Amino acid sequence: VAVVADVVGEMLALLGRQEARITRTRRSIVEVVARFQAPFTVTELTDAVSREDPGIGRASIFRTLALLVQAGAVQRLHGGPGRERYTVCVTPSHHHHVTCTRCGRTAEFSPRGVEHLERAVERAVTALGFRVGTHILEVQGICQACHSAIVASPTGGERP
Protein backbone atom coordinates (compact mmCIF):
# COMPACT_ATOMS: atom_id res chain seq x y z
CA VAL A 1 0.00 0.00 0.00
CA ALA A 2 1.43 3.33 -1.07
CA VAL A 3 2.05 5.98 1.56
CA VAL A 4 -0.82 8.51 1.45
CA ALA A 5 1.53 11.55 1.39
CA ASP A 6 3.26 10.16 -1.73
CA VAL A 7 -0.08 9.53 -3.40
CA VAL A 8 -1.15 13.14 -2.69
CA GLY A 9 2.13 14.42 -4.14
CA GLU A 10 1.76 12.32 -7.28
CA MET A 11 -1.85 13.34 -7.80
CA LEU A 12 -1.00 17.04 -7.37
CA ALA A 13 1.88 16.64 -9.85
CA LEU A 14 -0.48 15.04 -12.39
CA LEU A 15 -2.97 17.89 -11.88
CA GLY A 16 -0.16 20.40 -12.36
CA ARG A 17 0.76 18.77 -15.65
CA GLN A 18 -2.85 19.39 -16.76
CA GLU A 19 -2.23 23.03 -15.90
CA ALA A 20 -4.96 22.84 -13.28
CA ARG A 21 -4.60 25.41 -10.52
CA ILE A 22 -3.79 23.77 -7.18
CA THR A 23 -6.00 25.71 -4.81
CA ARG A 24 -6.26 24.98 -1.09
CA THR A 25 -9.71 23.48 -1.70
CA ARG A 26 -8.43 21.16 -4.43
CA ARG A 27 -5.52 20.09 -2.23
CA SER A 28 -7.95 19.20 0.58
CA ILE A 29 -10.11 17.16 -1.81
CA VAL A 30 -7.05 15.34 -3.20
CA GLU A 31 -5.98 14.50 0.36
CA VAL A 32 -9.36 12.87 1.02
CA VAL A 33 -9.31 10.98 -2.31
CA ALA A 34 -5.81 9.64 -1.56
CA ARG A 35 -7.01 8.06 1.69
CA PHE A 36 -9.51 5.73 -0.04
CA GLN A 37 -7.98 2.25 -0.01
CA ALA A 38 -10.80 0.83 -2.14
CA PRO A 39 -12.99 2.13 -4.99
CA PHE A 40 -15.42 4.81 -3.80
CA THR A 41 -18.70 6.32 -4.97
CA VAL A 42 -19.26 10.04 -5.51
CA THR A 43 -21.49 10.07 -2.42
CA GLU A 44 -18.76 8.46 -0.29
CA LEU A 45 -16.35 11.12 -1.52
CA THR A 46 -18.67 14.09 -0.88
CA ASP A 47 -19.48 12.71 2.61
CA ALA A 48 -15.79 12.27 3.44
CA VAL A 49 -14.89 15.76 2.18
CA SER A 50 -17.79 17.32 4.15
CA ARG A 51 -16.60 15.63 7.34
CA GLU A 52 -13.15 17.13 6.74
CA ASP A 53 -14.28 20.60 5.67
CA PRO A 54 -18.03 21.32 5.47
CA GLY A 55 -17.23 24.56 3.62
CA ILE A 56 -16.21 22.75 0.43
CA GLY A 57 -19.10 22.70 -2.06
CA ARG A 58 -20.20 19.75 -4.17
CA ALA A 59 -19.36 21.61 -7.39
CA SER A 60 -15.70 21.89 -6.32
CA ILE A 61 -15.62 18.20 -5.47
CA PHE A 62 -17.13 17.17 -8.83
CA ARG A 63 -14.76 19.49 -10.72
CA THR A 64 -11.68 18.21 -8.88
CA LEU A 65 -12.75 14.58 -9.39
CA ALA A 66 -13.22 15.25 -13.12
CA LEU A 67 -9.74 16.85 -13.28
CA LEU A 68 -8.20 13.85 -11.49
CA VAL A 69 -9.85 11.50 -14.00
CA GLN A 70 -8.63 13.67 -16.89
CA ALA A 71 -5.10 13.63 -15.43
CA GLY A 72 -5.14 9.82 -15.16
CA ALA A 73 -4.76 9.88 -11.36
CA VAL A 74 -8.23 8.44 -10.83
CA GLN A 75 -10.24 6.15 -13.05
CA ARG A 76 -13.98 5.74 -13.25
CA LEU A 77 -14.98 2.10 -12.97
CA HIS A 78 -18.26 0.95 -14.39
CA GLY A 79 -18.56 -2.26 -12.36
CA GLY A 80 -22.08 -2.94 -13.62
CA PRO A 81 -25.38 -1.07 -13.15
CA GLY A 82 -25.56 1.03 -10.00
CA ARG A 83 -21.98 0.14 -9.09
CA GLU A 84 -20.14 3.06 -10.60
CA ARG A 85 -17.02 3.73 -8.56
CA TYR A 86 -13.84 5.77 -8.73
CA THR A 87 -10.44 4.41 -7.89
CA VAL A 88 -7.04 5.94 -7.28
CA CYS A 89 -4.66 4.69 -9.97
CA VAL A 90 -1.33 3.26 -8.89
CA THR A 91 0.08 3.04 -12.41
CA PRO A 92 0.57 6.46 -14.00
CA SER A 93 1.03 5.00 -17.49
CA HIS A 94 -1.50 3.25 -19.71
CA HIS A 95 -3.19 0.40 -17.85
CA HIS A 96 -6.47 -1.39 -17.35
CA HIS A 97 -8.58 -2.52 -14.44
CA VAL A 98 -10.14 -5.76 -13.39
CA THR A 99 -12.97 -5.25 -10.90
CA CYS A 100 -14.59 -7.78 -8.57
CA THR A 101 -18.35 -7.77 -9.12
CA ARG A 102 -18.89 -9.06 -5.57
CA CYS A 103 -16.82 -6.72 -3.36
CA GLY A 104 -15.78 -3.97 -5.80
CA ARG A 105 -12.06 -4.47 -5.23
CA THR A 106 -9.97 -3.48 -8.25
CA ALA A 107 -6.52 -4.31 -9.59
CA GLU A 108 -4.52 -2.83 -12.45
CA PHE A 109 -2.89 -4.70 -15.30
CA SER A 110 -0.55 -3.47 -17.99
CA PRO A 111 -1.54 -3.54 -21.67
CA ARG A 112 1.49 -5.77 -22.40
CA GLY A 113 0.12 -8.90 -24.01
CA VAL A 114 -3.16 -7.32 -25.13
CA GLU A 115 -1.65 -4.84 -27.65
CA HIS A 116 -2.94 -6.99 -30.53
CA LEU A 117 -6.45 -6.64 -29.11
CA GLU A 118 -6.08 -2.85 -28.79
CA ARG A 119 -4.75 -2.58 -32.37
CA ALA A 120 -7.63 -4.71 -33.69
CA VAL A 121 -10.12 -2.44 -31.91
CA GLU A 122 -8.39 0.65 -33.36
CA ARG A 123 -8.63 -0.82 -36.87
CA ALA A 124 -12.33 -1.58 -36.39
CA VAL A 125 -13.02 1.94 -35.13
CA THR A 126 -10.91 3.57 -37.86
CA ALA A 127 -12.92 1.61 -40.44
CA LEU A 128 -16.02 3.36 -39.08
CA GLY A 129 -14.42 6.71 -39.91
CA PHE A 130 -13.45 7.62 -36.33
CA ARG A 131 -10.10 8.91 -35.19
CA VAL A 132 -9.08 6.87 -32.18
CA GLY A 133 -8.66 8.67 -28.87
CA THR A 134 -8.30 7.06 -25.48
CA HIS A 135 -10.08 3.88 -24.49
CA ILE A 136 -11.27 2.20 -21.34
CA LEU A 137 -10.90 -1.54 -21.00
CA GLU A 138 -12.40 -2.90 -17.84
CA VAL A 139 -12.67 -6.57 -17.00
CA GLN A 140 -15.12 -7.81 -14.42
CA GLY A 141 -14.64 -10.95 -12.39
CA ILE A 142 -14.45 -12.42 -8.90
CA CYS A 143 -11.36 -11.70 -6.80
CA GLN A 144 -9.39 -14.39 -5.00
CA ALA A 145 -10.79 -13.51 -1.56
CA CYS A 146 -14.40 -13.57 -2.78
CA HIS A 147 -13.81 -16.80 -4.67
CA SER A 148 -12.46 -18.44 -1.51
CA ALA A 149 -15.42 -17.11 0.50
CA ILE A 150 -17.89 -18.47 -2.05
CA VAL A 151 -16.22 -21.88 -2.11
CA ALA A 152 -16.08 -22.01 1.72
CA SER A 153 -19.68 -20.93 2.24
CA PRO A 154 -22.39 -23.63 2.38
CA THR A 155 -24.84 -21.22 0.69
CA GLY A 156 -22.40 -20.59 -2.12
CA GLY A 157 -21.59 -17.08 -0.92
CA GLU A 158 -25.08 -15.63 -1.39
CA ARG A 159 -25.33 -12.47 0.63
CA PRO A 160 -28.60 -11.88 2.54
What is the residue type of 109? F
**Interacting stretch for Zn ion, rule CB under 5 A, among 14-22, 49-57, 89-97, 122-130?**
89-97
Residue 121 interacts with Zn ion (CB under 5 A)? Answer: no
Nearer to Zn ion, 20 or 103 (CB): 103
| Alpha carbon distance 18, 68 (integer Å) | 9
Q: Find out whether 71 and 18 touch, Cβ atoms under 8 Å.
A: yes
Residues numbered 133-152 forming contacts with Zn ion, rule: CB under 5 A:
143, 146
Nearer to Zn ion, 4 or 69 (CB): 69
We find the least distance from the C-beta atom of residue 21 to Zn ion, in angstroms, to be 24
Residue 74 interacts with Zn ion (CB under 5 A)? Answer: no
Binding-residue total with Zn ion (CB under 5 A): 11
- Non-local (6+) Cβ contacts of 122 within 8 A are 132
Residue 30 interacts with Zn ion (CB under 5 A)? Answer: no
Residue 111 interacts with Zn ion (CB under 5 A)? Answer: yes
* Distance, C-alpha 22 to centroid of its chain: 21
Residue 8 interacts with Zn ion (CB under 5 A)? Answer: no
**What is the CB neighbour count within 10 angstroms for residue 101?**
13
Among 50, 62, 102, 121, interactor with Zn ion by CB under 5 A: 102
What is the residue type of 131? R
We find the least distance from the C-beta atom of residue 76 to Zn ion, in angstroms, to be 10
Nearer to Zn ion, 48 or 146 (CB): 146
Residue 157 interacts with Zn ion (CB under 5 A)? Answer: no
Nearer to Zn ion, 52 or 122 (CB): 122
Half-sphere CA count of 102, side-chain side, radius 13 A: 15
| Alpha carbon distance 100, 145 (integer Å) | 10
| Alpha carbon distance 158, 149 (integer Å) | 10
